Every structure is written in structure tokens, then in C-alpha cells.
Chain A
Amino acid sequence: MATLKYRSNGWQPWGTQQPAIILPTLTCAITPATNFTDFGSTYTSPRAARHGEAVFIEGLLRCTGAFSSTAGQSVTVATIVNPSMRPAADVILHCLAYTGSYRWGRLTVTAADGLIRFVCPDALSWVANYYVSIEGAYRGAPLGVGWFSSGGA
């Protein structure tokens, strides 16, 4: 058991005990960016889930229309709206995509704005129904009022 106290910088530990991991998990939706939507079917819907310090992001995003990206271009695929689900610092994860063949790239999640961006070392021609998977995990941003009060954006 630990106690949190409301201070000018939000909820903070009070006393010598650190806050325990609180279950159940808090979850919230991740918003697909322009050109992408929830893949649907049996695949995981885009969402973030927080278990204590750990944040899981998950989902399969389907491309909705044709566009091109150059090798190394950063393509915004989604946004984590809830600040409590963003990383403590910018993180780079591995990422799988399909654009006629399987592609590997990096997934960057930025702490300041929650943008999830895919960067592939190859030039890609996207068309409808191609997809990118946003499965990954990282250490979440310090807990604030939103963590306790909102339940997600």
C-alpha cells in the first residue's frame, strides 16, 4: 500500500513507500493517422495499455489509399492521444509492414506529442489494404493526474 498526494506537479508519492503497480490495466484507443485505419477482422485494434510503468501499444493499421514514401521517409501512422500512454522519452521499436511484400523498419514513438511514425529503409508504394503493425512496449511517461482521473482519451 502506498499513498499519493496531490501536489502542484500532480499526484506524487507521499511518505517513504513508492506507489504499487495498480491493476487492472488502463487502456485507451490509439488514433490512426491520415491514410490509415483499424485493420479490423480478428486483428488487434489500435490501443495502448498501461501496466504500472510498462506501456504496451498494439494494433494493425490498414492503408486506406494510394501514396508513396521514399527510402527513410518518416510516415506518421497514428497518434497516442492520452499523455499517460506516451513514452518517458522518444523510443524506437522494430516494426513489420506489408506493401506487396513484408517490410521491416523502425517505429518511432515521440514523448512530446505521441506520434507513431514508421520509417522503412526501402521506398514504398502504398495502396489500400497494405498494412503496418504497431505492436511494441516501452516505459511510460511519469504518471500524472490524467492517469488516475480520465481512464483514457
Chain B
Amino acid sequence: MAVLERWDEVAGERRPVMVPTAPTVVPITSAALTPASGWIDYGGNYAAPMVYRQGDVIFIEGLLKRESTTTWTAATAYNLTTVPVGFRATQAKLLLAVYTGSSSNAALAWARMTVNETGGVYAYSAVDVSWSVGGWISIDAVIRAVP
């Protein structure tokens, strides 16, 4: 945080001069995310399931693809992955996720995505979903770690 360190004279008027402390170099750390059962990394040019942390900012990345058929019931929690210790926020976040159950963009939809304080990443669809092989859901999100 910047601190007041000195004063300056401007046309005879005394004004404070703000001198910030040197910027802090904050390293980025990362960890792989393991997709939950039934999900795999989509691959291609899409981000692999990973989590990054720089200071208080956490980047969750990944496009998960269904490798088997399944059905979701609306408003029910389905685990997608788990964020490891060191990359978790101290409070739960309610976010939005984009998905398509059929791999077709014509079936694009949104779901609630919760990233909770114990690392669980869960999706809750607004409607029942019949997942086909190749359906996908994005877990991309940027959140803050601490209050």
C-alpha cells in the first residue's frame, strides 16, 4: 500500500507527494484438477483442467467432456472436480457455468456452479439434462481467495 513519505512545494503551496512502495512480485502457482467420474478433459485448444493462484486471485480453468451418458435432475448438485488445498477460497462462491448436454451449440444452456470452501466444484442445472457422450461443461472462473 502506498504511503505518504514527503511533501512538495508547488507555487508556494505545500502538497503531499505519494510514493507507493515497490510493487510486490507475486508468483503464480498451479495444480492439476482431476475431473469427477464420467468426465474427462475436452482437449484440443481448450484449457486443461487446472487451477492457478496469484496472491488472492484464483483462476479455475477447464472444459470437461462427458465420456458416458447420464441424466441430471434439475436443482441437484453434481460434482465436477475438487480444488486442492491451497487453491480454495475461504467462502463459497455461486457462479454460472455454460454447458451443452448433446455437444451441440443448439443445446447451449447455463447452470449454477458452486465452488465451495472445501474445494468441491458442483453444477446444478435449472432443468433436467440428458447427457450424451461429448457433451461438455466449462468450469472457467476467476474468484478471490479471501475476504
Contacts and interface: CB of A to CB of B under 8 A. Distances in A.
Contacts, number: 109
Contacts of A135: 93-95, 143
Interface of A: 1-6, 11, 14, 19-27, 42-45, 47, 49, 51, 56, 58, 60, 94-96, 98, 101-104, 131, 133, 135, 137, 148
A103 B116 CA distance: 20
Tell me if A's interface is mostly helix, strand, loop or mixed: strand
Contacts of B19: 1, 3-4
Q: For B19, B21, B94, B110, which residue has the most chain A Cβ atoms within 10 angstroms? A: B94
B18 A3 contact: yes
B95 A22 contact: no
B47 interface: no
A148 B2 contact: yes
B36 interface: no
Interface string B1-40: 1100000100000011111111110100000000000000
Contacts of A43: 91-94
A29 to B, nearest CB: 10
Contacts of B17: 3-6, 14
Contacts of A6: 15-18
